[in-house]
Structure 1
Amino acid sequence: MPKSKRDKDVSLTKVKKKTKESKVSLVEAIRVCVDEYKTLFMFTVENMRTTKFVQIRQEFKRDSRFFFGKNNIMAIALGRTPEDEYKDGLHKISKRLVGQCGLMFTNRPINDVIEYFANFKERDYARAGHEVDETITLSEGPLEHFPFSMEPQLRKLGLPTQLQKGVITLYSDFVVCTAGDKLTPDQSRILKLLEKTLATFRVTLIAQWTPERHFEVVGATKTKSKVPRTPTAHKTP
């Protein structure tokens, strides 16, 4: 019986070696950037969206480089302690690499970078697990913006619907979500069908490092206080 082409031995040692090499390569690339670029920013990302982050990369592609999502490797490259940091003050950046965050190396003026990210905010559809700060309610009556063929889908998502003369109709008010809710997959899907964007993609600069001044907290974070938002309610007819 001929041997199957799928019946092949895979060397796990080779796989591990390749992974290790990629990590070493990333460490080296970050350290090269420390030497070559004028400023290092550490940032966090809220409501990450790949397409929108690509947009930022394109904006800065001529004079900057980004590293995102591998906190442990980035911390090793910069150094975790004063004794093993690559250059003075970099271990203070490493300590803040928690959650969805990354590094931005740039030759662009510091104030230009800070201003850009302060103004870059884009709304998007909230995903399951996102905590909303708005209450969305659908009023009893026809949902004329939906084609009649979607009635079974809406009913499956929990909406109290029925067809009346070929028009999808709610036979009672329906609360899609309440301020403070963590969205379920069904709620997230309903909001997308209603074209309600309740999430905001933003990048927040936390700290910066330069060879001359070493580590600094980004100016905006020193005085910025978090003011609690008052939940708002929207009733969609």
Structure 2
Amino acid sequence: MAVLKKAAKSKMEKKERYSDKLKKLIDEYSKILVVLADNVGSNQLQQIRQGLRGDSVILMGKNTLMKRALKSYVQETGNETIRPLMDLLAGNVGLIFTKGDLKEVREELSKYRVGAPARVGLIAPVDVVIPPGNTGLDPSQTSFFQILNIPTKINKGTVEIITPVEIIKKGDKVGSSEAMLLAKLAVKPFSYGLVVEKVFEDGSVYDPQVLDLTEDDLAEKFASGLANVTALALSISFPTLAAAPHMFINGYKNVLAVAVATDYTFPQAEEVKEFLKDPSKFIAAVVPVASATGGDASGGAFKEEEKKEEDSESDEDNMLSLFDD
């Protein structure tokens, strides 16, 4: 009985130490990566810890224990911003507390992915395709290829795959035949490591794909959002900073149209009315002044072209006159 009480007390103390450690990390770090740890061994996890040592700390544990510690932290501190983190603790996940660049931490995690064979009953995380080529297997092994409908031929006493064949699709369970064939070919089609599922930063939760966005991507998305806000504001005639310039321009166009159609006028409309009365003024304002050797801006080039045509016709007349009687 005493032994059981001692064991229970020791277990409770471990939970309290774990809870205190989690609370301390929350106070110290504002950026947390929620990572999936399926098929990650203890040796591999130790290597990852060493690789991230410095700016990052990995904390693994049971989801119920982590949720209890987080709930206690919220009650003690009143910090509600940490509450969304509780909803992310589902499945075989862990937490990486970091002060470094989130994208660099994720890239560091990818360095420690290790190859793994296709075990029977495992859900394939990726498509598995066997490329064409010599397998090095003797002809007695063709039965495996026939079961999987893989076209083969015998070449120099070994089995050769003729065309690439997809034998496992992403999301399917690995069968015994597929697992045995891949083992015979010494192919490890899968790789495992800590995979970033969600990012928690200063109370906000977002997908890790956000880390791949560049400044150009952000500028493009901002411009697209600004265009949508402007279009909405214009359609409902609601003034905003984005729509105001367009509203002023559209209003000016309407007033100008009224001035042109009526006797009402204002200084900016006078010039437009003058152009409408005498279009040649508009041409003179737009067409650049001709060079000194050319004619006037409106007709100098045309007159010069006419002169060239007249000279050409004159030369032709002189040539014809040589053959007249």
TM-score between both structures, scaled by the size of structure 1? 0.61
* Greater radius of gyration (CA): 2
**Distance (Å, rounded) in 1 between the aligned partners of 2:194 and 2:130:** 27
Aligned residues of 2:40 and 2:192 also touching (Cα < 8 A): no
Q: Which runs of 4+ in 1 moved over 6 A?
A: none
More strand by share: 1
State whether residues 137 and 176 of structure 1, in contact with CA within 8 Å, keep that contact through their aligned partners in structure 2. yes
Which aligned pairs between 1:199-214 and structure 2 lie closer than 5 A?
Answer: 199-204=191-196, 206-209=198-201, 214=202
AA partner of residue 90 (structure 1): I
Q: Which amino acid aligns with 1:65?
A: V
Is 1:96 matched up with 2:101? no
Contact 1:79 / 1:86 at 8 angstroms: preserved in 2?
A: no
Q: Does 1:191 align with 2:191?
A: no
The 1:29–1:130 alpha-carbon spacing in structure 2 relative to 1, beyond 3 Å, is same
Work out whether residues 34 and 95 of structure 2, in 8 Å CA contact, stay in contact via their aligned partners in 1: yes
Higher relative contact order (CA 8 A, sep 6+): 1
Deviations 1:45-92 (A, max 9, x none): 264322443332112222322111421111111217954667341121
Matching residue of 2:7? 15
Distance of 2:211 and 2:52 partners within structure 1:
27
2:55 alignment counterpart: 63
2-side partners of 1:179 and 1:202: how far apart? 22
- Report the CA distance shift for 1:196/1:105 in structure 2 as closer, same or farther (over 3 A): closer
Confirm or deny that 1:42 pairs with 2:30.
no
Distance 1:53 1:86, change over 3 A: farther
- The alpha-carbon distance between structure 1 residues 189 and 21, as it changes in their structure 2 partners (threshold 3 A), is farther
- Say whether 1:31 aligns with 2:20: no
Alpha-carbon distance in 2 for matches of 1:90, 1:178? 41
Deviation digits for residues 30-51 of structure 1 (CA, Å, limit 9, x no counterpart): 112223x233413122643224
| Matching residue's letter, 1:91 | R
Q: Judging changes above 3 Å, is the alpha-carbon distance between structure 1 residues 207 and 13 closer, same or farther for their aligned structure 2 residues?
A: same
Please give the alpha-carbon distance, in whole angstroms, between the structure 2 residues aligned to 1:66 and 1:101. Answer: 11
Equivalent residues of 2:23, 2:70 under 8 A apart: yes
* Partner amino acid, structure 1, of 2:167: C
TM-aligned CA distance change 1:199 to 1:185, over 3 Å:
farther
Q: How big is the shift at 1:204?
A: 0.9
Seen in structure 2, the aligned counterparts of structure 1 residues 133 and 208 have a Cα distance that, compared at 3 Å, is closer
CA distance in 2, matches of 1:185, 1:22: 42
| Shift in CA distance, 86/17, structure 1 to aligned 2, threshold 3 Å | farther
Aligned in 2, Cα 1:182/1:103: closer, same or farther, shift over 3 Å? same
Assess if the C-alpha contact under 8 Å between 2:48 and 2:109 holds in 1.
no
Equivalent in 118, 124, 146 of residue 131 of structure 1: 124
Identify if the C-alpha distance between structure 1 residues 28 and 222 changes in structure 2 by more than 3 Å, giving closer, same or farther.
Answer: same
Q: Structure 1 residues 223 and 31, CA, compared in 2 at 3 Å: closer, same or farther?
A: closer
Counterpart pick for 1:177 among 161, 167, 176: 167
Relative to the length of structure 2, the TM-score reads 0.47
Figure out how many residues of one structure are paired with residues of the other and give that number: 197
The CA distance in 2 between the partners of 1:59 and 1:40, in whole Å, is: 18
Shift of 1:158: 5.5
Instruction: Give the whole-Å Cα distance in 1 for the aligned partners of 2:52 and 2:12.
Output: 29
Give the superposition deviation at 1:169.
5.3
Unmatched 5+ stretches in structure 1 = 1-8, 225-237
Q: Is the 8 A contact 2:34 2:88 kept in 1?
A: no
Structure 2 distance, partners of 1:87, 1:118, is 31
Match of 1:117 in 2: 106
- In 2, the alpha carbon distance for the partners of 1:137 and 1:64 equals 39
What is residue 235 of structure 2 aligned with on the other side? none
Seq. identity, %: 19
Higher fraction of helix: 2
- What is the aligned partner in structure 2 of residue 217 from structure 1? 205
